[in-house]
C-alpha cells in the first residue's frame, strides 16, 4: 500500500480566499436581510443604511474568521488532528502577522461604516456596533475568549440573531418590534445550530486544547439535543408570529421544515469528520429559511389594524431617526 502525496499548498491569493471563508458570509448577511425585509413590510426600508448594514455585517464576519484562524492556532485548538477544513495558520499558508493585519483591516472598515450607521441610528446602533466589534475579537482571542469558556453559543444567538435582525430593523424603523425580536431569535437559533455541529465534531480536540465548549462540558448527547431544540425553536418562533399577527408570510420558512427534520435525524447518527457535510447543510438550511422569510415578508404588508408608527417629523424616508 502506498501513501498518497500531500497536496501542494494553495497560491497566496487562494489561501486568502479560503481563509476568508466566503461560505460563512451568509451567517452575517442573512439576519440583515430578514431585518430589512421586516422594515420593508412596515414601510420603513431605506436602501443606503440597509446596504451599509449588510456590508458591515459581512466585514465583521470576515474579521471574526481571521481572528479565529490565528487564535485557535496559537492556543493549539487547530493542529494536525483537526477534522474540519484546513486553516491557514495551522497549515502555514499565511503567517499570524498576515492574519492579524487582515483582521484589523476588515474590522477597521466595519468601524468606518459604523460611523455612518451611528449617524443614522444613534446611540443604540453605536452600542451594538462596538459590542459586535469587540465580540468578534473576544470570541477566540484575548484573556477570556468566549468560545473557550462555553459562551460561544450565547454569542452567536445574540449577535447573529437578535442583534443583527433587531439592530437592522431598529436602524431602518427607529424602534424595535415583537416581530423583529421573534425573527432574530429564530435566525439566531439556526446560526447557533451551525456552531453546535462544529463543536460536536471538534469536541475531542477542543478538550485537549482546553476549549470548554458546551459540547465538551456536557457531552455529545447534550449537543445533539441542543441542535434538535434549536431547529425546533426556529420554526416555533415564526409560527408564533404568524398566529399573533394573522400574517401567513411568517409561515414561508415552513417550506424548509422537511430539510430541518432530516438534519435533526442526521445529527444523531453522525460523528467525527462525517459531520462536515452536516455543517454545510445546516448553513444552507439557515439560508433557505432566511430567504423564504425575507421574500415573504417584503412582499406582504401590514394590515390596517396594525399600522407602523408614524415617521418622526425630522426623518426623511432614506434615513432613520437619530
How far is Cα 275 from Cα 269, in angstroms, rounded to an integer?
10
Q: pTM for the complete prediction?
A: 0.87
How far is Cα 276 from Cα 290, in angstroms, rounded to an integer?
22
Largest CA distance in the chain: 78
Domains of the chain: 24-299 (1.10.600)
Ordered per-residue pLDDT tens for the chain, 322 residues = 333 334 577 888 888 998 888 888 888 899 999 999 999 999 999 999 999 999 999 999 999 999 988 888 888 766 656 676 778 888 888 899 999 999 999 999 999 999 999 999 999 999 999 999 999 999 888 788 888 889 999 999 999 999 999 999 999 999 999 999 999 999 999 999 999 999 999 999 889 888 899 999 999 999 999 999 999 999 999 999 999 999 999 999 999 999 999 999 999 999 998 999 999 999 999 999 999 999 999 998 764 334 444 444 344 434 444 3
240-245 contacts: CB < 8 A, separation 24 or more? 240/182, 241/178, 241/179, 241/182, 241/183, 244/178, 245/179, 245/306
Return the residue matching grid coordinates 399577527: 245
Amino acid at each position: 500500500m502506498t501513501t498518497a502525496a500531500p497536496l501542494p499548498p494553495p497560491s497566496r491569493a487562494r489561501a486568502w480566499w479560503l481563509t476568508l471563508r466566503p461560505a460563512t458570509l451568509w451567517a452575517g448577511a442573512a439576519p440583515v436581510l430578514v431585518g430589512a425585509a421586516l422594515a420593508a413590510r412596515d414601510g420603513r426600508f431605506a436602501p443606503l443604511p440597509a446596504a451599509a448594514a449588510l456590508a458591515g455585517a459581512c466585514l465583521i464576519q470576515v474579521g471574526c474568521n481571521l481572528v479565529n484562524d490565528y487564535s485557535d492556532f496559537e492556543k493549539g485548538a487547530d493542529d494536525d488532528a483537526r477534522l474540519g477544513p484546513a486553516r491557514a495558520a495551522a497549515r502555514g499558508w499565511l503567517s499570524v502577522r498576515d492574519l492579524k493585519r487582515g483582521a484589523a483591516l476588515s474590522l477597521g472598515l466595519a468601524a468606518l461604516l459604523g460611523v455612518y450607521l451611528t449617524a443614522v441610528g444613534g446611540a443604540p446602533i453605536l452600542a451594538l456596533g462596538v459590542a459586535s466589534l469587540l465580540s468578534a475579537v473576544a470570541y477566540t482571542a484575548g484573556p477570556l475568549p468566549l468560545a473557550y469558556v462555553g459562551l460561544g453559543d450565547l454569542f452567536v444567538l445574540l449577535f447573529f440573531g437578535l442583534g443583527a435582525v433587531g439592530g437592522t430593523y431598529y436602524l431602518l424603523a427607529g424602534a424595535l418590534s415583537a416581530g423583529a425580536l421573534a425573527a432574530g431569535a429564530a435566525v439566531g437559533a439556526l446560526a447557533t445550530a451551525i456552531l453546535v455541529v462544529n463543536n460536536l465534531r471538534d469536541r475531542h480536540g477542543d478538550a485537549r486544547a482546553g476549549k470548554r465548549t458546551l459540547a465538551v462540558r456536557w457531552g455529545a448527547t447534550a449537543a445533539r439535543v441542543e441542535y434538535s431544540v434549536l431547529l425546533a425553536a426556529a420554526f416555533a418562533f415564526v409560527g408564533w408570529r404568524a398566529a399573533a399577527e394573522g400574517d401567513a408570510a411568517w409561515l414561508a420558512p415552513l417550506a424548509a421544515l422537511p430539510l430541518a427534520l432530516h438534519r435533526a435525524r442526521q445529527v444523531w447518527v453522525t460523528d467525527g469528520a462525517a459531520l462536515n457535510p452536516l455543517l454545510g447543510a445546516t448553513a444552507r438550511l439557515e439560508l433557505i429559511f432566511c430567504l423564504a422569510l425575507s421574500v415573504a415578508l417584503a412582499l406582504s404588508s401590514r394590515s390596517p389594524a396594525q399600522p407602523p408608527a408614524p415617521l418622526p417629523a425630522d426623518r426623511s424616508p432614506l434615513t432613520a431617526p437619530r
